Amino acid sequence: MNTKNRFFKAWMVCWFVLTAGMGFADDGLRQAIIETAKRYQGVSYRYGAESPKGFDCSGFVRYVYRTAAGIELPRTSKTIWTSGQSVGIAEARMGDIVVFASKGVIHHVAILLDTNSVIHAVSLGPKTGVIISSLRDPYFGPRIIGVRSFLLPPE
């Protein structure tokens, strides 16, 4: 990253922090997260990876948050679930993290795009890599256990 890009990114982070009280930072950060996530659509799934060469689910979410917002997230789906603030599914906003489990075991995270879709890194047969999925998907929909936000002011 050249000096001009580093300066611009630092300036944007400062602007978001300074304008947080005015309600701009939250929306700006959320939009940056969505735009960054969509840039990696089609990147292959790679277990344990968190780079544009390949991602697993938590690696993808972590990389996007770090790149777009300078926010460091925990590394695994389970530790993401135990961090951040719990948000009701009805109150969830774009950029929040949707958490999934099967038989009580947390196994997947995704970034909420809108009320009906998420972007995530998956490895499910023909659905492999960073893709957008509906929350009504017969596999993912029933496995949603909650939403976490790292974009809300601490309680």
Catalytic residue among 25, 34, 43, 57: 57
Q: What token pair was written down for 83?
A: 């961090």
Catalytic residue among 62, 92, 106, 120: 120
Whole-angstrom CA distances from 2 to 6, 10, 39, 64, 68 are: 6, 12, 20, 20, 17
Non-local CB neighbours of 145 within 8 Å, separated by 6+ positions: 81, 99, 100, 101, 106
Is residue 107 part of the annotated active site? The answer reads: no
Q: Answer yes or no: are the C-beta atoms of 134 and 127 closer than 8 Å.
A: no
Instruction: Tell me the C-alpha distance between 33 and 87, whole Å.
Output: 18
Catalytic residue among 87, 108, 111, 150: 108
Is residue 120 part of the annotated active site? The answer reads: yes
Non-local CB neighbours of 57 within 8 Å, separated by 6+ positions: 77, 108, 109, 110, 120, 121, 122
The torsion angles phi and psi of 109, rounded to 5 degrees, stand at -135, 155
Catalytic residue list: 57, 108, 120
